[in-house]
A and B are shown apart, each in its own frame.
Chain A
């Protein structure tokens, strides 16, 4: 079972794949994917497919509907994740 830190690092790697310009920069759990890291809707769609492939089941629609409560932070993806 991967630790939370390992999963977080895997997620950051996927974020860098989607947004190569961020590669090497520091990403914090509380960073907003949209307002902080600059991902747009296509980036997030692409990221969600990678998350589903590599990290476990992630419901993008459900996550998007709860955006007001979680602020679309990096950690909110991990919170919404159902490990495979």
Chain B
């Protein structure tokens, strides 16, 4: 990256940025000095609230309405950001949906919608920003997976499959693009309290004094901020779990 480019504020594009983890990491990236463009699909009021909050804190943020599952929408939002900023340095593919059903009860339409948003959306967004990142010779793509890839619950066929695909896509992107200064990694949060996890929170259990607590969106934002920075230059193609240790904690036996 040239000196001039390094001096201008870096530009981050964050999907699913209006709520939950996405909102927290928009606030964090803006606080770190990045110009944040967040993408929301439906939650206009929430997106405005995030943008207003960032402005009030002295940061810069813009909200865009788009569905990451739609190629035209992805192209439009990417072109809008490039037109306004001339660069996209960081892409955070945070947008995702959960639609848990047992395999036998999962219609093709529901299966495809989850894969379309979680996996195809990640692919479309990455493909859209890569030309700019190639021109810059610098980029950071941070994808989102889940502990559900390794320890899925019943009913998570579409969600876990989509996130497994995201992890594989991350490695492919890393292999293809690493030598061009672009780093691609995945964050795999554990239980984090958000609007999206609310409906399944009862299945995942409450806080247990003997086990990892539920995470907060801010617990994830710090990791994303690191992966978006120069300091993460030697981290490539990885899936980094942030779950308070849940994945490595042995279940307690009864009695």
Interface residues of A (CB under 8 A from B): 17, 42, 45-46, 49-50, 53
In the complex the two chains form, is A49's CB within 8 Å of B176's CB? Answer: no
Contact partner, A42, options B135, B137, B180, Cβ 8 Å = B180
Chain B neighbourhood of A45, CB < 8 A: 134
B131 proximal to A (CB < 8 A): yes
Question: Nearest chain-B residue to A50 (Cβ)?
Answer: B135
Chain B neighbourhood of A50, CB < 8 A: 135
Q: How many A-B residue pairs have CB under 8 A?
A: 14
B: contact size bracket = under 10
Cα distance, A49 to B134, chains bound together (Å) = 9
Given contact pairs A42-B177, A49-B134, enumerate 11 new A-B contacts (beta carbons under 8 Å). Answer: A17-B137, A42-B134, A42-B176, A42-B180, A45-B134, A46-B135, A46-B180, A49-B131, A49-B135, A50-B135, A53-B135
Cα distance, A33 to B177, chains bound together (Å) = 19
Question: Nearest chain-A residue to B137 (Cβ)?
Answer: A17
Chain A neighbourhood of B134, CB < 8 A: 42, 45-46, 49
Cα distance, A17 to B176, chains bound together (Å) = 18
Cα distance, A84 to B7, chains bound together (Å) = 30
Chain A neighbourhood of B177, CB < 8 A: 42
Chain B neighbourhood of A46, CB < 8 A: 134-135, 180
Chain A neighbourhood of B180, CB < 8 A: 42, 46
Which of B134, B135, B176, B180 gathers most chain A CB within 10 Å? Answer: B134
Question: Nearest chain-A residue to B179 (Cβ)?
Answer: A42
Question: Nearest chain-A residue to B134 (Cβ)?
Answer: A46
Cα distance, A48 to B176, chains bound together (Å) = 17
Query: What is the CB-to-nearest-CB distance from B1 to chain A, in angstroms, rounded to a whole number?
Result: 12
Query: What is the CB-to-nearest-CB distance from B212 to chain A, in angstroms, rounded to a whole number?
Result: 41
Cα distance, A53 to B137, chains bound together (Å) = 15
A-B contact pairs, 14 of them (CB 8 A): A17-B137, A42-B134, A42-B176, A42-B177, A42-B180, A45-B134, A46-B134, A46-B135, A46-B180, A49-B131, A49-B134, A49-B135, A50-B135, A53-B135
Q: Which of B137-191 contact A (CB under 8 A)?
A: 137, 176-177, 180
Cα distance, A46 to B137, chains bound together (Å) = 10
Cα distance, A5 to B176, chains bound together (Å) = 33
Query: What is the CB-to-nearest-CB distance from B236 to chain A, in angstroms, rounded to a whole number?
Result: 16
Chain A neighbourhood of B137, CB < 8 A: 17
Cα distance, A39 to B22, chains bound together (Å) = 38
Query: What is the CB-to-nearest-CB distance from A60 to chain B, in angstroms, rounded to a whole number?
Result: 12
Cα distance, A29 to B134, chains bound together (Å) = 25
Chain B neighbourhood of A49, CB < 8 A: 131, 134-135
Cα distance, A42 to B176, chains bound together (Å) = 8
Question: Nearest chain-A residue to B131 (Cβ)?
Answer: A49
Cα distance, A50 to B176, chains bound together (Å) = 19
Query: What is the CB-to-nearest-CB distance from A52 to chain B, in angstroms, rounded to a whole number?
Result: 10
Chain B neighbourhood of A42, CB < 8 A: 134, 176-177, 180
